Amino acid sequence: MVDVPPVVLDRASRTPLSAQIADALRSATADGTLRAGDRLPSTRELAAALGVSRTVTSAAFDQLLAEGWVGGRRGAGTFVLSAVTPAPGGTVLPGARDTGVPQLVDLRAGAPCLEVLDRSAWRRAWRAAGDAAPDRTPEPAGDPAFRAAVAEHLLRHRGLVVDAGLVLASTGTSAAVAEIARALPPGCRVAVENPGYQRVVGALREEGVEVVPVPVDRDGLVVDAVPADVSAVYCTPAHQYPLGRRMSAARRSALVARARAEGWWVLEDDYDGELRYDVAPLPLLVALGPDVVVHLGTASKILSPTLGVGWMVAPPAVAESVLARRLGTGVRPPRAGQRVMAAMAVSGDLARHLRRLRRELAGRRAEVCAAVEAAGRAVEGDPAGAHVFVPLEGAAEEAQVLAAAAQGGVTLDGLGRHLGAGPDEARAGLVLGFAAPDREELRRALAVVTTVLRHDDRGPASPEGDGPVTGPAARP
């Protein structure tokens, strides 16, 4: 449930309760307690929390909607927009003006592209998963059919030859990192890319690990900057998250060599490795150092995080420790999602889906690049995955762009959210995801992004003027 914002009601006052609630929410927006993009509780939740009827909270929301402080979309909730007046250049989403209710489109990275998922194939896989007989005994390493399907998947899509017996099911990357952390010496230090994936940082800290942020440059993790006393190093070599470049071959060799010499495990997060759509990817890190690298894969980007399915290929010492803990605690990855993914793999539906997904994402990325470049800005990152990085001048510009986009009904993600403590804090930019919305929503949102990126302190960046992007510009 969404947090209920602070609202103090004076039941003796002559001001109607609905007006008091609307006032309190407006003030919370003004003083920063609520920020642009924050989701409000539902009218039902707010009514229950404040001990008033739903008619009262609905009236308050209607008032704020009419004033333009909040916007909503059926089924998606009500969101703070923070300002009534659109920014110069008309950053309200085209189409939203008709109803007076600006729509929020989420362009943060992370979500999968469900628009191209064939619902019949999805239903078939769930039916096939349900047809399998129930298991009498749990298998802590995971469903055998799933492990075989992952071994085949790694061969076909990642060029890795691995025996199915070495594949362990997990419930996803962050959960797998937490399991591995429990196998490390108590209170140890783990190096993590900075900027990097903060859920993994959270998972490690939760297990009592000291996280050491290590800088990233154009070649990926700066291996020389990893301190000697760490127990493990977490990285995203195929597609650095969130900057989007792959780790160079020289850095890969250096990382594996230091891991061997200094006794580290390397955690290779291959979260979207199947989604390269230009050239064949570099070989996996685990192929270079199977004795020191734990390879981590996930269905969260290629299918859905709600499946709760991931996998790992680990050196025997790590795998044995993870399995022993699963046996000892009875906590093991549930099989349902594993069976769904296995059914999709066996039927060929997964391979067909990946082909469609790569095509779709390549097309979307081209539109994103055209929109960003039309605003005179650069796009960084390899042609892969489902997000790009757009550098900005500094933290102030980043905050300004996020706020202006929110006023236009678009939720953007700043690099600041991906930075841990460390030497890179001066970097700023947008981490622009393009998988989550449908294609039409994406186009409308990109028109806002172009406009917002043009309106910075230095004035319009493009000599052609300020008109919104009217359609996808083709890229060679």
Among 174, 411, 450, 451, binds ligand PLP (CB under 6 A): 174
Q: Two tokens at 462?
A: 């493009």
Instruction: Tell me: does residue 91 bind ligand PLP (CB under 6 A).
Output: no
Taking CB under 6 A as the criterion, the residue among 236, 338, 400, 411 binding ligand PLP is 236
Kindly write out the interface string for residues 129-168 of this chain, putting x where it contacts ligand PLP by CB under 6 A and - elsewhere: ----------------------------------------
Q: For residue 386, what are its two tokens?
A: 């489902």
Residue from 69, 271, 389, 434 touching ligand PLP (CB under 6 A): that is 271
Binding ligand PLP (rule: CB under 6 A), the pick from 20, 29, 194, 298 is: 298
x/- contact string, 107-136, with ligand PLP (CB under 6 A)?
A: ---x--------------------------
CB 266 within 8 A of CB 233: yes
Stretch that binds ligand PLP, among 126-134, 172-180, 368-376, 450-458 (CB under 6 A): 172-180
User: For residues 18 and 298, which CB has a smaller minimum distance to ligand PLP in the complex?
Assistant: 298
* By CB under 6 A, residue 78 contacts ligand PLP: no
Give yes or no for residue 173 binding ligand PLP (CB under 6 A).
yes
- Give the shortest CB-473-to-ligand PLP separation in angstroms: 28
Provide the Cα torsion 201, 203, 206, 207; round to 10°: -110
CA dihedral 136, 140, 145, 146 (to 10 degrees): 130
Residues in the chain: 476
Q: Read off the amino acid at residue 189.
A: R
Residue whose CB is less far from ligand PLP, 52 or 232? 232
Residue numbers 309-348 binding ligand PLP by CB under 6 A: 310
Residue 202 interacts with ligand PLP (CB under 6 A): yes or no: no
347 vs 467: CA distance, rounded Å? 47
Nearby residues of 59 by Cβ (< 8 Å), 6 or more positions away: 16, 18
- Of 110 and 333, nearer to ligand PLP (C-beta) is 110
Q: Which stretch binds ligand PLP (CB under 6 A): 298-306, 318-326, 340-348, 404-412?
A: 298-306
* Shortest distance in whole angstroms from residue 119 CB to ligand PLP: 22
- Kindly state whether residue 389 participates in binding ligand PLP, applying the rule CB under 6 A: no
Instruction: Report how far residue 248's alpha carbon sits from residue 217's, in angstroms, rounded to the nearest whole number.
Output: 10
Residue with smallest beta-carbon separation from ligand PLP? 172
For residues 141 and 254, what is the distance between their CA atoms, to the nearest angstrom? 31
**List 61, 197, 264, 389, residue binding ligand PLP (CB under 6 A):** 197
Peptide bond into 242 cis (omega under 30): yes
- Shortest separation between residue 199's beta carbon and ligand PLP, angstroms: 7
Q: In terms of Cα–Cα distance, which of 383, 400, 174, 131 is closest to 269?
A: 174
Q: What is the largest CA-CA distance in the chain?
A: 75
Regarding 172 and contact with ligand PLP (CB under 6 A), the answer is: yes
Interface contacts to ligand PLP, rule CB under 6 A: 110, 172-174, 197, 236, 241, 269, 271, 298, 300, 305, 310
